[in-house]
A = this chain, B = another copy of it.
Amino acid sequence: MKPTLQTVADAVGVSRSTVSNAYGRPDQLSPELRERILTAARELGYAGPNPTARSLRRGRAGAIGVLFTDVLSYAFRDPFAVRFLQGLSLAAERHQTGLLLIPVPDDPEAARAAVRNAAVDGFCVFCVAEGHPARQAIFERGLPVVGTELLAGDPEMLAAGIDEAAATRAAGMHLTALGHRRVAIVADMLHPAISPLGTVVREPSDVSYLGESERLRGYQQAWRKAGLDWDEVTIVNVRGNSREAGVEGAAQVLDRRDRPTALVAFSDVIALGTMDALRARGLRAGRDVSVIGFDDIPQAAEAGLTTVRQPATEKGRIAGELLLDPPATAEGRRVALPTELIVRASTGPAPDGRN
């Protein structure tokens, strides 16, 4: 039989409470008694209080739930997501808390069950589509929920986010100011969750990820303001967030006779992929075709990629803090983080005339 608190207590000849204190409240007993208890525990092979029992008693699971979907594992390929996760873990560490990745089955009922069974103190909604069955289940738990979208509908929801639309609006205006009028968007997750890949989505409100939706809206606003026809903007929806996806997405627009003079991507890795595609065709980013990314990952600087910078680790850290220590006031519950357009060599004046 596995040793328990009681086992140790009996061995030392003290009560359970005292053994418990030896672990959780060292100041409640003499150092020497504590040492005696700890030694006895070691000898008995007792590894400390059972975390589950402790959780039950304390009313604190000691973990934050993060749904692990296909989308999220794609997202992990992006340095941005990994830094966000690191930020989250920073907050978690400070609160002696873990990050529970919850594998989400495809079957809707099983997905809901997975959420209901998760022993967590709150959820971080990261990469879960608006209509996903698990999403509703999350809210039904009645636990704190944090997201990365400031505009999320649910008033209960905590958020650490940026003004996505303002960010891409600035980027879009940067391009039109440079004279670009034939533009294309290359992005992942631009389709409604259910519909097949390739579905054309043009209206921001049709996009099932709120962040992506807002980014699309930002470009729409900027370009309409500059007099461009939104229907003429090429929108390419690629599968997955990766450099390769960027290469493929760019391929769909670069080989046309009237290829765009500017490409914008919704992540730096995709943008870097489009730059690869340019290079492969002997085109130069910033001269022949301008490129803008999103996130400002370290590689963006090296590649001279113009992009929207957002504080990745900080976003995760604040999300974690909000979750683990929710502010009382409504204003405190949504934290807006700054973004900045970082102009580098990948954007330049639109080339005149035909290519």
Contact = CB atoms under 8 A, between A and B. Distances in A.
A337 interface: no
A140 B98 contact: no
Interface string A93-113: 100111111111100000001
A48 interface: yes
Interface string A103-135: 111000000011011111000000000000000
A56 interface: yes
A89 B68 contact: yes
Interface in A207-252: 243-244
Interface in A16-68: 45, 47-48, 50-56, 61-63, 65, 68
Nearest to A92: B103
A86 to B, nearest CB: 5
Contact of A73 (B85, B92, B119): B85
A63 B63 CA distance: 11
A50 B143 CA distance: 12
Query: Chain copies in the assembly?
Result: 2
A82 interface: yes
B47 A142 contact: yes
Contacts of A68: 89, 99
B56 A53 contact: yes
A21 B50 CA distance: 26
Contacts of A113: 96
Nearest to A95: B103
17 contacts: A47-B116, A47-B142, A50-B56, A51-B119, A52-B56, A52-B61, A53-B56, A54-B117, A77-B82, A90-B103, A93-B103, A93-B105, A96-B113, A97-B103, A98-B100, A99-B100, A99-B101
Given A50-B56, A51-B117, A52-B119, 18 more contacts: A51-B118, A51-B120, A62-B118, A62-B119, A63-B100, A73-B85, A73-B86, A76-B76, A76-B82, A76-B85, A93-B105, A96-B114, A98-B100, A98-B103, A99-B102, A119-B119, A243-B299, A244-B298
